[in-house]
Amino acid sequence: MNASHISSRYANALLQYALGLGQEREVYDRMTLLAAMFMKLPALRDTVMNPSLPRRERENILVTACGGGDAMPSSLPEMIGLIMRNEREDLLQHIALRFIDLYRDKFNIRSGRLVTAFPVDRETERRLVDRVRNTTESEVEMECTVDPGIIGGFVLTLDDRRWDASISGELSRIRRRLLTGKIIQ
């Protein structure tokens, strides 16, 4: 059985279990945090897979990476324990990412990223999210970042689609047309 299939099974089991307990949103938030922690701290993966550390200690590290605390949904530490007992800790990052995908599919949530040359105020961000929400008829989670390199305008990525309305993007398209001799007259 391949890693992708195994990760999907664990992620689906966690989602179904969390749904049954009414903890799906809390688990989603924690799995999103865990996926981000794996990206920000590559040493986390090595630590979790380190056989010289007792399994219980590695489980505690994972619970902490999920945000820890008293508000931890009970389904998450139980699933982490199951994954560790079955020696599937090498798949935890994939399980977290797959859980996020399954949750978004189930609750019709689209993931987006808005890149602007300057910070966007909350009202502009809200209007953009509302427009995308109305167009796609789905909920939208938008990450806003600033990249002065785009000079002006914006780049919007929504799931696997990208709209480049930046000045640097337009300059690049003009340059490409000049180099290929396809200038519009």
80 and 147, same domain (yes or no):
no
Note whether 81 and 55 are within 8 A (CB).
Answer: no
Tokens 């990052």, located at residue: 93
- pLDDT, tens digit (0-9, with 9 covering 90-100), for 13-35: 999 999 999 999 999 999 999 99
**Can you give the CATH number for the domain in which 66 is found?**
1.10.520.20
Is 185 domain-assigned?
no
- Count: domains in the chain: 2
**Can you give the CATH number for the domain in which 134 is found?**
3.40.30
64 and 120, same domain (yes or no):
no
What pLDDT is recorded for position 185? 54
Q: 142: which strand partners?
A: 112
Mark out the alpha helices in the chain (DSSP H runs). 3-21, 24-40, 42-48, 55-65, 75-85, 92-106, 122-136, 167-180
User: Residue 90 belongs to what domain range?
Assistant: 3-105
- pLDDT, tens digit (0-9, with 9 covering 90-100), for 62-110: 999 999 877 899 999 999 999 999 999 999 999 999 999 999 999 999 9
Please state, in angstroms and rounded to a whole number, the distance separating the CA atoms of residues 139 and 142.
10
Is 80 domain-assigned?
yes
pTM over 0.95: no
- Average of per-residue pLDDT values in the chain: 92
63 and 114, same domain (yes or no):
no
What pLDDT is recorded for position 16? 97
